[in-house]
Chain A
């Protein structure tokens, strides 16, 4: 019996990498977006830095959405 260590290692690497990458990306998006919101404990950024924060956030979310789309593509195929 031969255990497919290569496949196992690949699963390990890809899984951890993808998870940490996606969660990191999404968290960045959430954090940037939250800076543009006014809350009791926080003053919202405004002007150019708000636009920058919002653009960064939406870029992160778009990348995450692309990852989800790729996931669905894997399921279908």
Chain B
């Protein structure tokens, strides 16, 4: 391994932590409907998604030469401190949205963090405003609309075609279809998101002089980034899975299949045509669409509204945290250490707060308590069980993230 300074080491670790949060934040994208319709058991679903994420990380060496997709002027004096501050902003926002159970885009958190840190450290000249609009804002508005319409049309069609068929006889087919399309989403996620972290680490190595400019990421970077995202995926962001799988609408197997196929089709066609849309927003949009497309299904628009708010806030919020971190980190080694300590404390605090109402593999399919039940549905007795901090031995082994 090349000579690496302490600062670069901290940046690499922070990047891997971000990759990990990226993994567990985004498990829901591929697996929420698969889990809530019972096509796969929760643990099996996250394990499958983790393996495919890992495979995806190795599939393509087409690493984005510009980690930020041209949003940041990487030649304008980006130092490791700036990358570090950007990552801290992204991690803190990812954890906060996870605590609230809201699916927000990890890529937008990373972009927001890098933009905020760059604004403070370099100034407005370091950020390409056009690229922000083209690569973040427009895709953010379009993704849920495109995916939602596709999934709504597909749901309508599948119910129409299958209206005379026996429900039991078709269930197996829908199950297989869901698993296949969820696998495709996981694979695409591994290729895209693991590579973002590889790009960040490689950039840090380049700015530190450990690797020559324009080089591909070293093998250990690919392995560690792939492992971090797979591990995060396997731990499973159960809170977000619950919101997406149960909170937006009640998903029946044909809807899950339509939503998941729509998500896979939108993600792949958009990245193929060169107008990449955020995985998280595509998947949320397609689930919403599958609720709109099925006659008689109720869509909980309040959950959708909260998700929209989180999407709008992601860029500025991650940017603000990162800007503060950049101010501190600019004060030299003491500043960097202070940011690291504060970030670790924030993560610990959020994790502690999450323990009060843990969501894990065994209660992931219960309705979130913040959702008001429709009157015609029998009251769900389960939340009481969730809230009581029992001392069952099984709880100690269940992952609670």
Contacts and interface: CB of A to CB of B under 8 A. Distances in A.
B207 interface: no
Given A8-B275, A10-B273, A19 B169 contact: no
Given A15-B269, A19-B150, A24 B262 contact: no
A68 B180 contact: yes
A19 B161 contact: no
Contacts of B151: 19
B153 A29 contact: no
Contact of B264 (A4, A33, A42, A71): A71
A3 B138 contact: yes
A23 B262 CA distance: 8
Interface in B182-206: 184, 187-188, 191
Given A4-B275, A26-B173, A72 B184 contact: yes
Contacts of A39: 166, 168-169
B162 A18 contact: no
Nearest to A26: B177
Nearest to A15: B266
Given A30-B170, A34-B165, A19 B272 contact: no
Given A28-B161, A34-B165, A34-B169, A75 B257 contact: no
B59 interface: yes
Interface in A1-60: 1, 3-4, 7-8, 10-12, 14-16, 18-20, 22-24, 26-31, 33-35, 37, 39, 41-42
B158 interface: yes
Given A34-B173, A37-B169, A11 B158 contact: no
Output the residue of A27, A28, A37 with the most chain B CB within 10 A. Answer: A27
Contact of A75 (B164, B262, B268): B268
B274 A31 contact: no
B147 interface: yes
B277 interface: yes
Given A15-B150, A15-B266, A19-B262, A34 B275 contact: no
A67 B180 CA distance: 11
B399 to A, nearest CB: 28
Interface string B228-269: 000000000000000000000000001001100110111011
Nearest to A32: B165
**Interface of B, helix, strand, loop or mixed by DSSP:** helix
A12 B191 CA distance: 23
A30 B150 CA distance: 20
A11 B270 contact: yes
Contacts of B265: 14-15, 18-19, 22
Given A20-B150, A30-B170, A39-B169, A75 B187 contact: yes
A64 B164 CA distance: 22
Contacts of A19: 150-151, 153-154, 258, 261-262, 265-266
A16 B150 contact: yes
A1 B133 CA distance: 9
B149 interface: yes
Given A34-B170, A34-B173, A75-B268, A12 B158 contact: no
Nearest to A1: B130
B184 A27 contact: no
B60 interface: yes
A42 B134 CA distance: 54
Interface of A: 1, 3-4, 7-8, 10-12, 14-16, 18-20, 22-24, 26-31, 33-35, 37, 39, 41-42, 64, 68, 71-72, 74-77
Given A3-B134, A34-B165, A76-B59, 20 more contacts: A8-B138, A8-B275, A15-B269, A16-B153, A18-B269, A19-B153, A20-B154, A23-B155, A23-B157, A23-B158, A23-B261, A26-B177, A26-B261, A30-B162, A30-B177, A31-B161, A33-B173, A71-B184, A74-B268, A76-B60
29 contacts: A8-B138, A11-B142, A14-B269, A15-B146, A15-B265, A15-B266, A16-B149, A18-B265, A19-B258, A19-B262, A20-B153, A22-B154, A23-B155, A23-B257, A24-B161, A26-B158, A30-B165, A30-B173, A31-B162, A34-B169, A37-B166, A37-B169, A39-B169, A71-B268, A72-B187, A75-B56, A75-B188, A75-B191, A76-B60
